[in-house]
Homo-oligomer: A and B are copies of this chain.
Amino acid sequence: MASTEEPALLWTRPEPGTRRPKFTRDGIASAALAIADREGFAAVSMRRVAAELGAGTMTLYYYVRTKDELVALMDDAIMGEVLIPAAEFPDFWYDALTAVAERTWEVLKRHPWAMQALRGVSPGPNAMRHAEQSLAALATTGLDAAAKVTLLGVVDDYVHGNAFRAAEVHAAREAAANEEAAQFARSQFETGEFPHSEALFGGRDGTEVLPEILSGLSERDRFRQGLAMLLDGAAVRLKLALPGN
């Protein structure tokens, strides 16, 4: 009946090619990636990507069903960057988990737009490999399945949240009409509703005060600190060994 229908899922649908096509999914993905890195995710349109490749717009639809699939391709390319070479993979769970988390963080940092692109795409091969590496990190802990999934989820939450908020702050900082934002903040402070904020900022703009307060602690250091807190707490609750002993 419906047995001759093509699969709806990108990953199960083979890349076309009995007669060598001019392009490949990889090529299309990296063209899109280049545009996103250079001009932001919003600049990635089917027309723009096609133009980058010197192709007609509709040509892309031969390799990909919808734009969402193009985005899925981009995401999986990014997940590829996250993978850790087997040789560098640490043995001890704490180090392995930290390595995976830091690598993920670095990639999300390098492609800030990935956070919005990652929304709701079905996991591709590289995403699966990443999940596999995460599980591998916990292989020797003796945790049961539920604990493993929970722990990995918590760490992933933190990593993604950090990258997400950092991208947000970054976007806000460059979009902000800072003078007016500062003025607004001051006017709000005058209502007396914000004693703690006022004490912290002293009536000056957050985007200039925050870096001062956190001086000496890079974004990366703060990420690491939070991750360490999280893993410490997790180790206690799950009765896992910490590197210290």
- Contact in complex: A132, B233 (CB < 8 Å): no
Chain A 130-160 per-residue mask, 1 if CB under 8 angstroms from chain B, else 0? 0110011001000001101110011011111
- Contact in complex: B233, A128 (CB < 8 Å): no
Name the B residues within 8 Å of A55 (CB-CB). Answer: none
Known: A12-B183, A153-B226, A164-B164. A128 touches B232 (CB 8 A): no
Instruction: Tell me the minimal C-beta distance from A28 to chain B in angstroms.
Output: 20
Measured CA separation A115–B153 after assembly (Å) = 18
Interface size on A, residues (CB 8 A): 72
Those of A191-245 within 8 Å (CB) of chain B: 193-197, 200, 210, 213-214, 217, 222, 225-226, 228-234, 236-237
- Contact in complex: B226, A149 (CB < 8 Å): no
Known: A132-B194, A183-B12, A188-B128. A225 touches B168 (CB 8 A): no
Name the B residues within 8 Å of A236 (CB-CB). Answer: 229, 232-233
Known: A184-B12, A228-B233, A232-B232. A168 touches B120 (CB 8 A): yes
Name A118's contact: one of B118, B157, B168 (CB within 8 Å).
Answer: B168
Name the B residues within 8 Å of A145 (CB-CB). Answer: 200, 213
- Contact in complex: A11, B157 (CB < 8 Å): no
Name the B residues within 8 Å of A153 (CB-CB). Answer: 165, 222, 226
Measured CA separation A121–B172 after assembly (Å) = 6
Name A237's contact: one of B125, B183, B225 (CB within 8 Å).
Answer: B225
- Contact in complex: B188, A154 (CB < 8 Å): no
- What are 8 contact pairs spanning A and B, CB under 8 A? A9-B181, A120-B175, A128-B194, A131-B197, A146-B214, A157-B165, A161-B162, A229-B237
